Structure 1
Amino acid sequence: MPMSVRWNDLDAFNHVNNARYLTYLEEARLRWMMGLPGLGLDDDVAPVVAAAHVNYRRPIEWPGEVDIELFVERMGNTSVSIGHRIVAARDHGVLYCDGHVVLVWIDRTTGRAAPLPDGVREACQA
């Protein structure tokens, strides 16, 4: 997913603030989920972030364009580990960060883990 670096993403050191990396990754995951049948969330179940791991490899500067890559690392009964990379849009050899996020689907009523929705499972196996 392509994304433009915004001026307000910068911190006092004039590069993208480390928390914004997580925001970029969240936006990419949400756009991915918007393309799934049933979105993977409804009145009964929804994903929550159980863990996030980011290896910051180099600063992202403004102005700039980045590409966010997502891929399934592991799929369980109630969770998915989604690997991620943020790279320079013009040169995917320039790696800004990598890592993964674990999403767990929960039952909105009980707060307990729920089985992965069929649409999510199918998308992860594709």
Structure 2
Amino acid sequence: MSEFGNLVDSIEIPLRWGDQDAYGHANNTVYFRFFEEARITWLDSVPMKTAPKGTGPIIIKTSATFLKELNYPATVQVRTYAGKAGNTSLESWYEIFDSKTGVKYAEGYAKIVWFDHETRKSTRLPDELRALAAE
């Protein structure tokens, strides 16, 4: 377990040339797309029972700490961590590293709430996710 929680997934994502801004480095919004891609890849890999009424994750809070500028060309490794679980929520943490050099570019956070799309209210976090959470 790391300072962020339990490592639950790791993926590699190439930086696209168009991800750069006018200053020649990855735009800050790209980091949030990396976090999102890592989160969706991880959640898709968890064998969960699906609810017939349509429940699923929504993000209610997210943040990033930018440590070093990211320049094209690059491929990043995004590590995803499951933090503490609440009744209806789960903390998720992210680290972005250069796949070749190991340089750390950013850290991120997102609070996931399990949401019932029919009732428009939060609902109990699935046991499959709760089991992955840090103590």
TM-score, normalised to structure 2, is: 0.84
In structure 2, what is the Cα distance between the partners aligned to 1:67 and 1:11? 21
Give the conservation status (yes or no) of the 8 Å contact 2:82–2:132: no
Distance 1:123 1:12, change over 3 A: same
Aligned twin of 1:105: 114
CA deviation vs aligned residue, 1:74-121 (integer Å, no higher than 9, x gap):
1111111111110111232x1111131100011111111100112222
1:50 aligns with 2:60: yes
Percentage of pairs with the same residue: 27
Aligned twin of 1:121: 130
In structure 1, what is the Cα distance between the partners aligned to 2:36 and 2:127? 21
Aligned twin of 2:3: none
Give the 3-state SS of the residue equivalent to 1:69 in structure 2. strand
Amino acid at match of 1:24: F
Aligned twin of 1:9: 19
Gaps of 5+ in 2: 1-10
In structure 2, what is the Cα distance between the partners aligned to 1:91 and 1:114? 42
Give the 3-state SS of the residue equivalent to 2:121 in structure 1. coil
Query: 1:17-36 counterparts in 2 under 5 A?
Result: 17-36=27-46
Alignment RMSD (CA, Å): 1.8
Gaps of 5+ in 1: none
Give the 3-state SS of the residue equivalent to 1:116 in structure 2. coil
Give the conservation status (yes or no) of the 8 Å contact 1:66–1:89: yes
Aligned twin of 2:7: none
Say how many residue pairs are matched.
124
CA deviation vs aligned residue, 1:29-85 (integer Å, no higher than 9, x gap):
100011111377764211110100100111110001110011112111111111111
In structure 1, what is the Cα distance between the partners aligned to 2:107 and 2:95? 4
Distance 1:28 1:117, change over 3 A: same
